[in-house]
Structure 1
Amino acid sequence: MTTRANGGALITGEQAEAIRRALKSSLYPGASDDSIEMVLSYCQAAGLDPMTKPVHIVPMKVSTGRKNADGWDIKEDRDVVMPGIGLYRINAARTGQYAGCSEPEFGPIRTMEMDREVWVDGANGRRQKTLKPFQLQYPEWCRVTVRKLLGSQVVEFSVKEYWLENYASKSDGTPNAMWEKRAFGQLAKCAEAQALRKAFPEAVGSQPTAEEMEGKDIIEGETIRAERRPPTAGAIARQAPAEPEDTEERRKLYASLQAFAKAGLDEYQGAWGRLSKEQRAMIGTSGHEALKAIAMNAGAEGVAGGGIAAEEVPL
């Protein structure tokens, strides 16, 4: 039996099987036969050479639309084939209009301080979960510019992506292994992917890259940040974090942060980065998310007089 390769040449069944074995043993070790078939089908439809690994197999949790007895969404583990940043570059280059991109430009370095859930040996010899201080330095944002040839002109398409809006987290809110190890590199890939989508919308499409989706879930066509947990027989039900106490000190701190949020996302993230661990706990997750929403809605309006980024958050 013969089939057609991506270039149109006929290949034998023996050659096709050799390609499958190479993909499974070298390029996608540990992948199931079904996932390898998905890769081959994707590459055949897009006219890609599977041996260059233009796509990635990403294990994800996909919402089934059903709920369990406790009211939580039921999700199932599924392998999803997604383009890598390399495929975005290939498709942009195929247009003949791609003129390269800039080196990533990073914003100020911020420090994340949180408590991370870890498993330790308890006094009774059994494993137990405890909290340990976690600290990570990360760039506040990354800017990448993609250049495109339009006639005789080179047009630039710039994108600025924020680390806090992109990083993939575990259930405790701390970054997953990849984002902890490559705090700069992962954000740079996300920014470049967004810039390529902006410059070449028809060539690269709107499907997110594997780098952007690593560690996130698919829910009704959208994505949320989540930990990819292995299925367990006795999964622990998630509990909503307790709301912080509404004290006079918290109200004053919240009002101060709200002023920064109304000045835009840059101003607010700068103020949040200067808070102590205790102050962040005082605001709480729900307060932080509400302030981020205010900051994102503020857009580029800014504050008259040049902004308030240099002001200090009251202690």
Structure 2
Amino acid sequence: MSTQNTITSEILQQHGIDEATWSALKSSIYPGARDESVLMAVDYCRARQLDPLMKPVHLVPMLVKDAKTGKSEWRDVVMPGVGLYRIQADRSENYAGSGEPVFGDAIEGEFNGVRVRYPEWCKYSVFKKMPDGSVVEFVAREYWLENYATAGKDTSAPNAMWKKRPYAQLAKCCEAQALRKAWPETGQQPTAEEMEGKALDITDVTEMSSVDTTVRPPTNKTSLNNLISTRTQAQTDTDTKELSALLAGFTEKISDSQNIDEMDLLFSGGVWPDGKRRPGAVNTFSGEMLEKARDVYEMRRNEITDSDK
């Protein structure tokens, strides 16, 4: 894989990266990766307010198959690590810990002449604190045969990682599934641990029909979410979809809020009653996303103001 430096200082400035950070990214965080791929990872982190130097996402070389042409080619794909899901769960401030992975019976199997001892399944639990103070357990169960990656297209033998660490790899996949169940706003993108050594298909994209762009005053949570849907979406890339999930979470919190002070904190950020400073929508979104958040905030704020009269 070519590592020729094709990134100029001007491009780094456009991405807000100084020379020292770029050097660390290239030499320590993503050694051997193409410059364009590293920038892609930085942009992904920037969109989700993550520190790329903490390596919350991975650049995974994958054989990508285009469903339309049937052709395959190797590409670097940005994928979250299970560590990113842990960060997002912790940021929610209702993460109440996790249990130890529980494994099923050990099985001795042979795959194209390669003998492997692996667990039949793994069960993983994470705990989430609910608004009423109760703690709910979310459980995921994953099977080794359904998750392991092969050493190549023409063999059923596991790759080196799944052969060397059959328990640990399955536990990571199971933990990622449990975190997605408990915090669906993290998104549904598979983690690097789940996709390592596997091929990726690009499926056909169905063109969306035009929608009614008339903005109507919301009166409940459903209509607030409808307001988001009716605005024109200028971007359709993966980062925007994940920001949309964050925007939906903001909408839900605004809808549940019963006082203006709390709404102001949700939108503008600041010091909360518990003494912690938290960012608001203005710190999270920009451009059209921020305008959507502002519409939801102002309309809900007007509702509360009118009800107090």
- Name the TM-score class by shorter chain: 0.5 to 0.7
Q: Which amino acid aligns with 2:195?
A: M
The CA deviation at 1:182 is: 0.8
Instruction: Give me the whole-angstrom Cα distance separating, in 1, the residues matched to 2:80 and 2:15.
Output: 26
- Aligned to 1:208, the other structure's residue is in SS state coil
| Alignment-derived partner of residue 214 in structure 1 | 196
Alignment of 1:25-36 (within 5 A): 25-36=27-38
- The answer to whether the 8 A contact 2:180-2:188 is kept is yes
Instruction: Report Cα offsets for 1:190-241 as digits up to 9, x if no partner.
Output: 0000000000001x1101100001011111349xxxxxxxxxxxxxxxxxxx
CA distance in 1 between partners of 2:173 and 2:202 (Å): 22
- Matches of 2:27 and 2:111, distance apart in 1: 39
Equivalent residues in 2 for 1:99-110 (5 A)? 99-110=96-107
Are the structure 2 counterparts of residues 12 and 148 from structure 1 closer, same or farther at C-alpha, using a change threshold of 3 Å? same
Segments of structure 1 that go 5 or more residues without pairing to the other structure are 4-10, 68-72, 116-132, 223-315
SS state at 1:42 partner:
helix
Find 2:85's aligned residue among 85, 88, 103: 88
Shift of 1:14: 9.3
CA shift, 1:134, in A, is 1.7
Please point out which of 119, 122, 125 is paired with 1:142: 122
Q: Does 1:190 align with 2:147?
A: no
Which residue of the partner structure matches residue 242 of structure 1? none
Whether 1:46 aligns to 2:48 is yes
Show the counterpart of 2:211: none
Q: C-alpha displacement at 1:13, in angstroms?
A: 8.8
2:61 aligned partner, one-letter code: P
1:39 partner letter: A
Matched-pair contact (CA < 8 Å) for 2:67–2:203: no
Taking a change above 3 Å as real, the CA distance of residues 62 and 152 of structure 1, as seen in their structure-2 partners, is same
Structure whose residues are more often strand by fraction: 1
Instruction: State the superposition RMSD in angstroms.
Output: 2.4
The answer to which structure has the higher helix fraction is: 2
Question: 1:143-292 to 2 correspondence within 5 Å?
Answer: 143-150=123-130, 151-170=132-151, 171-202=154-185, 204-221=186-203
Letter in 1 for 2:100: E
CA deviation vs aligned residue, 1:90-127 (integer Å, no higher than 9, x gap): 00110011111110000000011133xxxxxxxxxxxx
**Within the alignment, does 1:24 sit opposite 2:26 as a pair?**
yes
For structure 2, the 5+ residue unaligned runs are 1-8, 205-309
User: 2:45 is aligned with what amino acid?
Assistant: C
> CA, structure 1 residues 45+199, in 2 after alignment: closer, same or farther (shift >3 Å)?
same
The amino acid across from 1:84 in the alignment is G
**Do the aligned residues in 2 keep the contact of 1:193 with 1:209 (CA within 8 Å)?**
yes
For residues 127-167 of structure 1, what are the alpha-carbon distances to aligned partners after superposition, in whole Å with 9 as ceiling and x for unaligned?
A: xxxxxx32110000000001000021000000110000000
- Rounded Cα–Cα distance in structure 2 between residues aligned with 1:168 and 1:181: 12
C-alpha deviations, 1:235-287, integer Å up to 9, x for none?
A: xxxxxxxxxxxxxxxxxxxxxxxxxxxxxxxxxxxxxxxxxxxxxxxxxxxxx
Partner SS state of residue 47, structure 2: helix
User: Runs ≥4 in structure 1, deviation > 4 angstroms?
Assistant: 11-15
Tell me, yes or no, if the aligned pair for 1:20 and 1:36 is still in contact at 8 Å: no
Name the SS for the 1:216 alignment partner.
coil
